[in-house]
Amino acid sequence: MAQIRLTNSRTRTLERFVPIDASNVRIYLCGPTVYDRAHLGNARPVVVFDVLVRLLRHVYGADHVTYVRNFTDVDDKINATAAARKAAGAPGTLEDLIAERTEETIGWYHADMDALGAARPDHEPRATGYIAQMIAMCEGLIAGGHAYEAEGHVLFAVESYRDYGRLSGRSVEDMIAGARVEVAPYKRNPMDFVLWKPSDGDLPGWDSPWGRGRPGWHIECSAMSHDLLGADFDIHAGGNDLMFPHHENEIAQSCCAHPGSGFARVWLHNEMLQVEGKKMSKSLGNFFTVRDLLDQGIPGEVIRMVFLGTHYRKPMDWTEAKREEAEKTLRKWRALTNGVEPGEIDEQVVYYLGDDLNTHGAIQALHKLVQDIYHHEKIERGGQGSVLVKSSVELRAKLKASAQLLGLLTDEIGEWAVTASVDLSAYADALAAAREQAMATKDFSAVDALKSMLLAAGVEVRMSKAGVDLSPKPEFDAAKLEAL
């Protein structure tokens, strides 16, 4: 069995991953608050940890991994968005508009993440479906002396949990100084956070022992993860912007609500995203959603490839140059694997993914497989037997299977590269033969003519000592190619 090592944010060390139960490896990823479209930074953890789930299923078995990613569908941002629509004259009550916006946004999210090749989780709980569990958790925390009621609110008493701050590595004093702490007269401590709050007027609300109200943000994930994964589970993941206060608060309330449990054993956090070397922000004009890129004609598979080119614990810089290189590479790989059934997965790809999810290293291993394919096919063109021909086919099958472990070269997200499915091997053979003849006669006119015709048809031509490599460019014209 392949070994997996992961950098645990809680211990700040690279640890060998040993599941609590190898027959049911459990992972929870913090999902979106569904008030608007997902921006590019929101998509990074989805793609990164989709690869982790693929790796876990490969190692432990497809039926032995439970993957949960939630939807926060009760939140002040959702309420504000719905209120703005109502003020603009949208028909229906505020509650109707909230429900409408939620459904619409979840639909957008599914479509965008599907386009990136991210598999749907086993469970996608919505916060509004777990209100009873949240109320029960609040009651338990109050009974245990870890929370208190004040003016219709229920607040977690931070001082009651001695390990508070361990995940983020901050002292309570530092957290007060560096956080936007809500100052409220009903708080016993400035760091105490809301588990439940009152709802007035048209705002969503549910009956509770403390009056009509709605949950605070942090309690949602604790209730949902406990209900679906248990008090102890293997991995909790998300962006590093969630480490404090969200994940810190999750740990505190979950461990206090379920004494003796450890909540998540391994915490994984991905770094943030930049655009052309700068932080993505609306003020800089470099803020865009996943849908913005898709509508510009950038394939989801290309976006995924750019994401995976950088290790998840390093800041990822989205650049036009990276996009172009990713598209070029994927077109070449799809041309090489067109019509090939996936074979065995390359051990080096598995090794790199098992080494703290090193997707960059795994992609380099895929490039090495491509070089091996070219090397074998050069020998095959020399007529050295059917054994080597079989080796080339096996290498192409290995390339496809190994790339699919990263969520690349799958059928679901390959429509954009339909031109890359053209078999150019006969033209490559012809150009290689013409070049070999020219090397003997010193007359390269036939080589130049054939190369010019290929270029005119939109075929990228690369000739080296390893052989001839042809791949279709975005402007590829099959009709021109057939006329050669």
Which of 484, 387, 479, 386 minimizes the C-alpha distance to 428?
484
Is residue 179 within 8 Å of residue 211, measured between CB atoms?
no
DSSP one-letter string for 233-284: EEEEEEEGGGIIIIIHHHHHHHHHHSTT--EEEEEEEE--EEETTEE--GGG
Characterize the bridge pairing of strands 459-464 and 467-472.
antiparallel
Which of 128, 319, 98 minimizes the C-alpha distance to 206?
128
Determine if residue 221 is labeled as part of a ligand binding site. Answer: yes
Q: Which residues make Cβ contacts (< 8 Å) with residue 16, sequence separation at least 6?
A: 3, 4, 5
Radius of gyration of the chain (CA): 27
| Residue 463, strand partner residues | 468
Helices marked H in 28-93 — which ranges?
A: 40-60, 76-87
Is residue 309 within 8 Å of residue 359, measured between CB atoms?
yes
Q: Taking phi first (over 0 means left), then psi (-120 to 50 degrees means alpha), and beta for anything else, what does residue 98 get?
A: alpha
What distance in Å separates the CA atoms of residue 479 and residue 462, rounded to the nearest whole number?
Answer: 21
Of the chain, the end-to-end C-alpha distance in Å amounts to 51
Burial class (CB in 10 A: 0-12, 13-18, 19+), 267: buried
- CA 102 from chain center: how many Å? 21
Quote the Cα angle for 33-34-39, to 5°. 80
Dihedral sign, CA of 128, 268, 54, 317? positive
Residues recorded for the chain: 484
3 state DSSP class of 121: coil
Buried b (16+ CB within 10 A) or exposed e, 22-47: eebbbbbbbbbbbbbbbbbbbbbbbb
Which of 441, 429, 427 minimizes the C-alpha distance to 482?
427
Determine if residue 246 is labeled as part of a ligand binding site. Answer: yes
Structure tokens at 399: 């390339």
Determine if residue 124 is labeled as part of a ligand binding site. Answer: no
- CB atoms near residue 283 (< 10 Å): 7
Phi/psi at 159 (nearest 5 deg)? -65, -15
What distance in Å separates the CA atoms of residue 456 and residue 484, rounded to the nearest whole number?
Answer: 10
* Binding-site residue ranges for ATP: 282
Annotated binding site for Zn(2+): 30, 221, 246, 250
Residue list, annotated binding site = 30, 221, 246, 250, 282
